[in-house]
Structure 1
């Protein structure tokens, strides 16, 4: 019997045959995978940073203002950085209301549906059901818009040849596309009626109805469409009307009327220093988070202390990214930079905000900070200041078409495809070597078994010969 196993021997020799190639490929593939993961992490960090920029820019300005009202049950207000500080007095004499009217089937020109008893031949009305009319359309208009036809013939959704008020309401809702809504109410007598509601308040949202004869009908008006009426400057101030209960006629100030005034309501606009500082701190924090993420990916490591290097260690393009971000952060507008507002660089590459210095500088020149930070925007030509410049540069890295990161990721993906082909070649070489070794050592094992059998036979023959002599 052979002293070795051909299968395990062939396996070991075949693995040794491709060992160098496999180790080299595994190392290269692992490096590419690490870089791919690192680039994905970098993209996530950069994208998170630009989201923070958009959030800050979306506030309208880093400089926050508050609007305080003397009676919040009657008026609410918000102020942007464009609102001029000061006090504004409002007196509301009427709120804007949305029209609401009730229509019976007869208002629309509909006749009750009739049913005949098969046994008695007696004809009676079918409650809350109506005949499909001819002509079959009613019409509604909103404000100065033209009339929209509602075909009642097509409203018979269950195909029973009759119209229910529910079917009429459904047809109105479909035709009016949210400009007027229809609902069904039932009165004390069990009669169903069509309740129409204007979606928009004021005279601009008022609607008109024509019945099947083309005659304009009013129905029963429950709520009239009225504009809001108020005065700016108190009871005897400047009169203003609005189709809604919102007023944005003072730059940077948004007013919402909640109730008719019992006395003038004062809205006081003032700078919110705490929120302004918080806004600026959010920018500092977002920048620092991004920088730390980049530094972790590019860390050189320390072999003596067992600290592994980052996957992008020594990457010159990432180092260029890091330097450019720092340069953009230090840029100035009209001779003013973030350093002037108390934002300073730290030894580890992060930045810090000096709250006291920031508050003093903002108080002295708030417009300078607004101009310096600028705005982000989806359209590049509308971007400005530090925020806009940072967004444009980061976008050049993160955009999915032509972005630096996408180009590198595409290149790594091609390498991975090549590695897959190389792995297929190694697998083929391994299989060929395995089959070759398996055949060789299986043949050798067979010869060894034959020689062992022959040796045993000869030994037996010689032993018998010695005994007979």
Structure 2
């Protein structure tokens, strides 16, 4: 039988079109799998949104579960002379601070030289820098050094105690030194070379001694070599900005607690909003959220409701006692007056309510533990994600097997159609030959 290179050539039939229709019909078997796979991918994405919202809520609960939050202090500064920060060792109190002088750096310049980039030394030598109350420092100067080379040698030495620049006074170039640290002891006083000096220190005209800061705290005189004063007030760092008067109040950091509680409420409401979107249903359009009726979501909502409404012993036993109420739509709402009163006057009771005596005793600790159970490796949400991923992988394998089966079926059809095409072509040839023979026989019989 002759070989047919293109279906339909031999028979004149549209076998390619027929084969395409059969292939479309066969691939229709993949559509249910594709829909199931899309559903699982959508669920995985939705579980991811739920997981993210739960994690954010857990972070906010963990912040409230830290007893140090309710013990933190802040500084309230009046006046422009200082800024201040408090650490864990600070104690509540009020202080009057008077800044008389700021700490400054000592400066000194050299005599002038004609050029900055040409050699002014012949032999290698040492440059000694002398300070008011600190040890002298020795800088190695190479032979044939220019003023720029001497500057670079000073700046490259981490122990030099000064920074060096070059200043042009309009006629000559000068080496200008500035103490790296503020204060009288760190002040540069002079310098000298141990060999032929290329220039001298201009101590008469350019020497400006560094000074210590002078201030009083509640009338007590204090000096500091820097403008950052530690220890003058226990646990408080004073940063001197300018000469003048300021007040410092060290008090409970109510703002930090307020922000932590507000973040907790906002994170829960965001979680509630995410769940609402994922489980929504529009009766008019029939559109449904990705996790409508999902058992994992129902478990999350039930566990959250129990954790938020459970009471505890103490001055504050429920969220409503501190001004946080559960609304009809399931969200939380803050009564600012009640919350501010609890924060301002009862931080100890607030700490006991949220943080408790141990990490899991308070409401925030119990809630964080519940969230960990939901989000952990064996938790409800993680299990739902794993289940959806496993189903998705199974569907992909099923899809691949089905696709391979379809390809094999279509390949078999193509072979059969080729055989059919060849057979019909041969039959057509035989029919044409017989017709010719019969026509010739009829013509011969007609002549006889």
TM-score, scaled to structure 2:
0.70
For 1:341, the equivalent position in structure 2 comes to 322
Report the CA distance shift for 1:211/1:170 in structure 2 as closer, same or farther (over 3 A): same
SS at match of 2:119: strand
Matched, 1:451 2:427: yes
For 1:314, the equivalent position in structure 2 comes to 294
Contact 1:83–1:269 (8 Å) recurs in 2: yes
Report the CA distance shift for 1:309/1:455 in structure 2 as closer, same or farther (over 3 A): same
Deviations 1:135-190 (A, max 9, x none): 5686899997x88876555xxxxxxx743343444444444299854433333432
CA shift for structure 1 position 362: 3.4
Report the CA distance shift for 1:7/1:54 in structure 2 as closer, same or farther (over 3 A): same
Structure 2, unaligned stretches of length 5 or more?
1-9
For 2:100, the equivalent position in structure 1 comes to 93
Report 1:46-445 matches (<5 A).
46-49=54-57, 67=76, 69=78, 71-72=79-80, 74-77=81-84, 87-102=94-109, 128-131=118-121, 133-134=123-124, 152-153=141-142, 162-176=144-158, 181-198=163-180, 200-202=181-183, 213=194, 220=203, 222-233=207-218, 237-247=219-229, 249-250=232-233, 255-261=238-244, 264-267=245-248, 280-297=261-278, 299=279, 301=281, 305-311=285-291, 313-316=293-296, 318-329=297-308, 332=312, 334=314, 336-337=316-317, 338-374=319-355, 420-445=396-421
Match of 2:40 among 32, 37, 40: 32
Contact 1:63–1:366 (8 Å) recurs in 2: no
SS at match of 1:88: strand
CA shift for structure 1 position 125: 8.9
Report the CA distance shift for 1:371/1:15 in structure 2 as closer, same or farther (over 3 A): same
Rounded Cα–Cα distance in structure 2 between residues aligned with 1:382 and 1:143 = 52
Rounded Cα–Cα distance in structure 2 between residues aligned with 1:253 and 1:49 = 33
Contact 2:71–2:252 (8 Å) recurs in 1: no
Count residues in correspondence.
Answer: 425
Rounded Cα–Cα distance in structure 2 between residues aligned with 1:357 and 1:207 = 60
CA shift for structure 1 position 87: 4.6
Rounded Cα–Cα distance in structure 2 between residues aligned with 1:347 and 1:460 = 94
Contact 2:109–2:174 (8 Å) recurs in 1: no
Rounded Cα–Cα distance in structure 1 between residues aligned with 2:354 and 2:185 = 40
Deviations 1:233-282 (A, max 9, x none): 2xxx1222334334565467654332222xx4444677898997566434
Rounded Cα–Cα distance in structure 2 between residues aligned with 1:92 and 1:362 = 34
Report the CA distance shift for 1:436/1:125 in structure 2 as closer, same or farther (over 3 A): closer
For 2:5, the equivalent position in structure 1 comes to none
Rounded Cα–Cα distance in structure 2 between residues aligned with 1:102 and 1:4 = 104
TM-score, scaled to structure 1:
0.68
Report the CA distance shift for 1:363/1:169 in structure 2 as closer, same or farther (over 3 A): same
Rounded Cα–Cα distance in structure 2 between residues aligned with 1:370 and 1:179 = 49
RMSD (Å), alpha carbons: 5.1
Rounded Cα–Cα distance in structure 1 between residues aligned with 2:19 and 2:53 = 50
Rounded Cα–Cα distance in structure 1 between residues aligned with 2:355 and 2:17 = 71
Report the CA distance shift for 1:125/1:81 in structure 2 as closer, same or farther (over 3 A): closer
Report the CA distance shift for 1:305/1:415 in structure 2 as closer, same or farther (over 3 A): closer
Contact 1:79–1:252 (8 Å) recurs in 2: yes
Contact 1:128–1:192 (8 Å) recurs in 2: no
CA shift for structure 1 position 451: 2.4
Report the CA distance shift for 1:125/1:95 in structure 2 as closer, same or farther (over 3 A): closer
Structure 1, unaligned stretches of length 5 or more?
106-111, 113-123, 154-160, 376-380
SS at match of 1:41: helix
Rounded Cα–Cα distance in structure 1 between residues aligned with 2:56 and 2:108 = 51
CA shift for structure 1 position 442: 1.4
Rounded Cα–Cα distance in structure 1 between residues aligned with 2:187 and 2:275 = 59
Higher Cα radius of gyration:
2
Rounded Cα–Cα distance in structure 1 between residues aligned with 2:341 and 2:49 = 38
Rounded Cα–Cα distance in structure 2 between residues aligned with 1:323 and 1:143 = 71
Rounded Cα–Cα distance in structure 2 between residues aligned with 1:341 and 1:257 = 40
Rounded Cα–Cα distance in structure 1 between residues aligned with 2:128 and 2:316 = 66
Rounded Cα–Cα distance in structure 2 between residues aligned with 1:4 and 1:246 = 96
CA shift for structure 1 position 429: 2.6
Deviations 1:294-313 (A, max 9, x none): 3433x164677512232485
